[in-house]
Homo-oligomer: A and B are copies of this chain.
Amino acid sequence: MLEDNQPADVSLRALTLVCTLTPSPEQSSSELLARQLLDALSERGVSGPLVRVVDHDVRPGVQVDMGNGDEWPMIRQQLMAADILVLATPTWLGQPSSVAQRVLERLDAELSETDDVGRLLTYGKVAACVVVGNEDGAHHVSSILFQGLNDVGFTLPAQAVTYWNDQAKGTYRNYKDLDETPEGVTKTTQTLAANTVHLARLLKAAHYPAPPQSGE
């Protein structure tokens, strides 16, 4: 049931950054939903690493490399090799985790990194988000991730997030403790994978033009 003119079935790489506050090997709700998205991406020929950011010493700052044993440069190298960034976060006090905000701060450095025609190195990469919470917050957390990622150069496909929140002032369950995956989440995850891959293939085949001031 696909259209003509679908993008060629090239293979794509994704980097997944899980921003739970909980170090490995403890279970994480945001990692669980991220892995479900990765499975759906995998069915569409996408592969690549998953990094639990809190396991690494990502230093505070807004430079590409903050020195002092900063482990962001290693993560950044994986990002540069990826066509797709999956950013997964829990919700704390209604916000993305401090680890997710740390990732956004480190991506701020990309605003100074351009290719030989003046495009940000992030241009052409597509972002997909994953948000879970034992209380409410997914819409707002998405809005922050969307704005931050888009500001530093990522493109967002239609409906660029899969998410789950429990009732607010209800039961406070965690996603990892649900008996089964809600049907709405499964459907959203599948659609997100399909949209992300479609857009990433299009942009890989036809990169954004050079910014106006350098080429037109």
**Known A-B contacts A5-B205, A146-B143; A165 and B168 likewise in contact (beta carbons under 8 Å):** yes
Contact yes or no, B99 A98, CB < 8 A: yes
Taken together as a complex, chains A and B put the C-alpha atoms of A105 and B155 apart, in Å, by 24
7 A-B pairs (CB sep. < 8 Å): A120-B158, A153-B159, A155-B199, A165-B165, A167-B167, A169-B188, A195-B208
Of B139, B158, B215, the residue contacting A94 (CB under 8 A) is: B139
Looking at chain A's contact residues, the main secondary structure is: mixed
Q: Which residues of chain B come closer than 8 Å to A161, judged between CB atoms?
A: 150
Copies of this protein chain in the complex: 4
Contact yes or no, B159 A2, CB < 8 A: no
User: How many Å from the CB of A17 to the closest CB on chain B?
Assistant: 14
Contact yes or no, A139 B139, CB < 8 A: no
